[in-house]
Amino acid sequence: MFPTLKKPDLVRQQAIIGGAWLDADSGATADVTDPATGAVLGTIPAMGAAETERAIEAAAAAFPAWAAKSAKERAALLRRWNDLMLAHADDLAAIMTAEQGKPLTEARGEIVYGASFIEWFADEARRVYGETIPSPWADKRLVVIKQPIGVCAAITPWNFPNAMLARKVGPALAAGCTMVVKPAAQTPYSALAMAVLAEEAGIPAGVINIVTGTDAAAIGGVMTASPVVKKLTFTGSTQVGRLLMRQSADTIKKLSLELGGNAPFIVFDDADLDAAVEGAMIAKFRNNGQTCVCANRIYVQQPVYDAFAEKLTAKVKALKMGNGFEAGVTVGPLIDEKAVAKVKEHLADAVAKGGTIVTGGEHTGGNFITPAVVTGVSPAMKISTEETFGPLAPLIPFETEAEAIRLANATEFGLASYFYSRDIGRVWRVAEALEAGMVGINTGLVSTAEAPFGGVKQSGLGREGSRHGIEDYLEMKYLCMGI
């Protein structure tokens, strides 16, 4: 079960539709387990198509009044929600560590990060500007206004169960939209706890509706087929993103897709090696390697390869793996046995093709695999082309700048990328050449509410956060006014 919370009613084992906390129509439930221990934490309603339809109806019913509120009124409610999330950050973090496994310090960091999107878009709500256009006609005036797109659906992943939802609900509500949300079945309690605090903040019933269950295809099928849902925002794998895009075509839904990544991390021979090691540790092992912007391939220029490998290995060996509630633990469990199997598959493939495991890679039981460094990695290995999504640092040597850029760009993905260099000419050449939506230069962490988060190629469509993030929840309307 969950650790003792200051506010126990944050844990809800029901979904919320139209302001009512509900069980599934059938009464069916699905278990939610602690990935560190395998223990059942509780259950959630196993909902499906019928409940999703009702959630869409509730969001549609709530939309006119929510959109009619002034931007200032919506901003005030979002700010109150932000304040409540921060006031209950310890409880929200404990709920997250219990269901997702990340160390408590990382979970608390995610709560602060998630709340920052609510705070950011509380401010952005009041900066949705239109425009006037110099008219070519003496008897007409041209004006552009922006209006909320309407009912939006959101489908979110398990790896950042608070922040990925906040990054969607924040701009949607700020713009005047209402939401139907399907959180990942592995981590529903974080989303439900956010809904408890949204209620307490005074956000009206039906503005945020959360449908839970393991039948993602049924819930998502209703969301994508419904003409009432004007937009779908999805964060998850590219594979599922493609499917949802296809399913949304019949209703020409506006889409925001934050999909898979396969970030290159390049260390040039002119880099500050200690800084590069610190950056690699963050970019690779944050959330136990389970982030979409994790360094999936680490390219090191030949002259500094051995020194970098030695320094990084020492840092990896110092990581403390365990239950996220234990003090000092820096890497928790993977989310489930499927994730464990993928990491083991990538390790075995790398060794079979000539790689060397320098440290880690032991499956110690359950969902725990010790953080690993593999050297002698070649582009032919799965580790070089597939998203590992686990604590596995593959080190790939390269000779020239041009080779590094070619290798870095040789995937279908283009979300994040990173490189370390102190040569200003190289910094500009490489930053402009990398095929990615985000480039970390001499840093392993780029994510913040103030900046546009998103990818190119098959890592997605659109941007979340920044002054751009709210545009995806607005429609532009041109008024041509005869006078």
User: Under a CB-based contact definition with an 8 Å cutoff, are residues 107 and 100 in contact?
Assistant: yes
The whole-angstrom separation of Cα 257 and Cα 443 is 25
- Choosing from 103, 150, 260, 437, the residue that interacts with ligand NAD (CB under 6 A) is 260
- The least CB distance from residue 446 to ligand LB4VBGO6, in Å, is 7
- Choosing from 233, 291, 296, 330, the residue that interacts with ligand LB4VBGO6 (CB under 6 A) is 291
- Choosing from 147, 237, 323, 370, the residue that interacts with ligand NAD (CB under 6 A) is 237
Q: Does 89 bind ligand LB4VBGO6 (CB under 6 A)?
A: no
The entry of ligand NAD, ligand LB4VBGO6, none near residue 205 (CB within 5 to 8 angstroms by kind) is: none
Q: How many residues make contact with ligand NAD (CB under 6 A)?
A: 26
- The least CB distance from residue 460 to ligand NAD, in Å, is 6
Residues belonging to the active site: 258
User: Under a CB-based contact definition with an 8 Å cutoff, are residues 335 and 290 in contact?
Assistant: yes
Q: Does 330 bind ligand LB4VBGO6 (CB under 6 A)?
A: no
- Choosing from 415, 434, 436, 446, the residue that interacts with ligand NAD (CB under 6 A) is 415
The entry of ligand NAD, ligand LB4VBGO6, none near residue 447 (CB within 5 to 8 angstroms by kind) is: ligand LB4VBGO6
- Choosing from 115, 165, 197, 293, the residue that interacts with ligand LB4VBGO6 (CB under 6 A) is 293
- The least CB distance from residue 117 to ligand LB4VBGO6, in Å, is 10
User: Under a CB-based contact definition with an 8 Å cutoff, are residues 55 and 180 in contact?
Assistant: yes
Q: Does 418 bind ligand LB4VBGO6 (CB under 6 A)?
A: no
Q: Are strands 40-45 and 460-461 parallel, antiparallel or unpaired?
A: unpaired
- The least CB distance from residue 159 to ligand LB4VBGO6, in Å, is 5
User: Under a CB-based contact definition with an 8 Å cutoff, are residues 418 and 283 in contact?
Assistant: yes
- Choosing from 44, 62, 292, 298, the residue that interacts with ligand LB4VBGO6 (CB under 6 A) is 292
Alpha helices in 318-465 (DSSP H): 337-352, 382-385, 401-408, 424-433
User: Site residues for ligand LB4VBGO6, window 112-171 (CB under 6 A)?
Assistant: 159-160, 163
Q: Does 261 bind ligand NAD (CB under 6 A)?
A: yes
Helix/strand/coil (H/E/C) assignment for every residue in 316-356: HHCCCECCCCCCCCCECCCCCHHHHHHHHHHHHHHHHCCCE
Q: Does 367 bind ligand LB4VBGO6 (CB under 6 A)?
A: no
- Choosing from 82, 97, 159, 458, the residue that interacts with ligand NAD (CB under 6 A) is 159
What DSSP line would sit under 287-324, residue for residue?
Answer: GGG-STTSEEEEEEEHHHHHHHHHHHHHHHHT--BS-T
Angle 104-124/163-175 helices, nearest 10 degrees?
10
Q: Does 51 bind ligand NAD (CB under 6 A)?
A: no
DSSP summary character for residue 137: S
The whole-angstrom separation of Cα 483 and Cα 480 is 10
Q: Could you give phi then psi for residue 204, rounded to 5 degrees? A: -65, 155
Q: Which two three-digit tokens encode residue 81?
A: 């929600």
- The least CB distance from residue 11 to ligand NAD, in Å, is 20
> Edge-to-edge strands of the sheet including 140-148?
131-133, 140-148, 474-482
The whole-angstrom separation of Cα 460 and Cα 463 is 9
Q: Does 157 bind ligand NAD (CB under 6 A)?
A: yes
The entry of ligand NAD, ligand LB4VBGO6, none near residue 263 (CB within 5 to 8 angstroms by kind) is: none
For residue 65, the tally of other CB atoms under 10 A from its CB is 12
- Choosing from 240, 295, 436, 438, the residue that interacts with ligand NAD (CB under 6 A) is 240
The whole-angstrom separation of Cα 283 and Cα 137 is 55
Q: Looking at beta carbons, which residue is closest to ligand LB4VBGO6?
A: 447
- Choosing from 296, 447, 459, 466, the residue that interacts with ligand LB4VBGO6 (CB under 6 A) is 447
Q: Does 283 bind ligand LB4VBGO6 (CB under 6 A)?
A: no
Extract long-range pairs of 198-204: CB within 8 Å, 24+ residues apart. 198/81, 199/16, 199/19, 200/84, 201/77, 201/78, 201/80, 201/81, 201/83, 201/84, 202/77, 202/80, 203/77, 203/81, 203/173, 204/19, 204/62, 204/65, 204/66
Q: Report the residue number, 188 or 397, with the smaller CB distance to ligand NAD.
A: 188
User: Under a CB-based contact definition with an 8 Å cutoff, are residues 339 and 290 in contact?
Assistant: yes
- Choosing from 44, 98, 184, 196, the residue that interacts with ligand NAD (CB under 6 A) is 184
**Residues of the shown chain interacting with ligand NAD in the complex, contacts defined by CB under 6 A:** 155-159, 164, 182, 184-185, 216-217, 220, 235-237, 240, 243, 258-261, 292, 387, 389, 415, 460
**Residues of the shown chain interacting with ligand LB4VBGO6 in the complex, contacts defined by CB under 6 A:** 159-160, 163, 291-293, 447
